[in-house]
Amino acid sequence: MSNRKIVVALGGNAILSSDPSAKAQKAALVETAKHLVKLIKNGDDLIITHGNGPQVGNLLLQNLAADSEKNPAFPLDSLVAMTEGSIGFWLKNALENELVKEGIDKEVASLVTQVIVDKDDAAFENLSKPIGPFYTEEEAKIESEKTGATFKEDAGRGWRKVVASPKPIGIKEIGTIRNLLHSGTIVVAAGGGGIPVFQEADGTLTGVEAVIDKDFASQTLAELVDADLFIVLTGVDYVYINYNKPNQQKLETVTVSELEDYIQQNQFAPGSMLPKVEAAMAFVNHKSDSQAVITSLENLGALIESNSGTIIVKE
């Protein structure tokens, strides 16, 4: 089946190996592009999203290291935009080069994306997303007094700044994304969960110090473009229950209600597989006869050929 609208959410391993240099990240994306082009050759229309956690963390450290009156550190919304731009460029460039090699005449557009969040989201009361370096308790106190930031103790490793992780409620550039898709363009959007913004009563937008979960931003995007398929890529070919135990079992085709039972049993790690599963379930619940897939980048060819991977269906 071709000419499906597919949103593909890239996992962090598609961009970053152990080497955080621009050269190594570009090289990783060259490999990533080879797998993504399989879907394009299959006749599918693609919207690609990506993470930026390590990259935005590194950029934050660079900003803090150079922070001075003459060269002040940038706020988090700007850092998200900068990493969305740089990764978007690398990915667009890798895809364009791969399309040339395959003789496919298609445009690729990379879009810096503003994702609308709700001022009243409980996440702004309960700051939970750690970012940036570790501090001692004393350093965290001084930093907090200086900047007004909130710091929390992180797993016995020190104190870290925490920010809100609100749920996305809309995407400002959705009209542009739909127009690009309609013209046959491959779109890279909502990188790193997008830049979080508040929409004021008069329609104006304001950037906000927060981090949006990329899986939920990708799911929102998939719903808004009315995608036929939502693919969440991660480090494994399948979702497992009893992961890394003797009775480990891979999930092939699984229903939303079965996944709800597994979540009750704490089968999926929070901050890792759980948001991917929840985002996939939310998409399938939103659109009847749609599917979501959780699998690895390397397994995309097998997914096209034989539906390999964890396929989530409504019932």
- Report the DSSP pairing between strands 310-313 and 205-207: unpaired
Quick check: is 12 catalytic? yes
Contact 212, 194 (CB under 8 A): yes
d(CA 183, CA 79): 31
Q: Which of 63, 129, 132, 191 is catalytic?
A: 129
141's tokens: 């106190």
d(CA 244, CA 221): 32
The greatest distance separating any two alpha carbons of the chain, rounded to the nearest whole angstrom, comes to: 59
Q: Which of 5, 12, 42, 106 is catalytic?
A: 12
Quick check: is 23 catalytic? no
298's tokens: 């390397």
195's CB contacts (< 8 A; 6+ apart) are 77, 80, 81, 84, 112, 113, 114, 115, 207
Q: Which of 88, 92, 214, 309 is catalytic?
A: 214
258's CB contacts (< 8 A; 6+ apart) are none
Q: Which of 13, 58, 93, 299 is catalytic?
A: 13
Nearest to 76 by CA among 172, 153, 166, 189: 166
Contact 210, 159 (CB under 8 A): no
Quick check: is 276 catalytic? yes
Residues identified as active-site: 12-13, 129, 214, 276
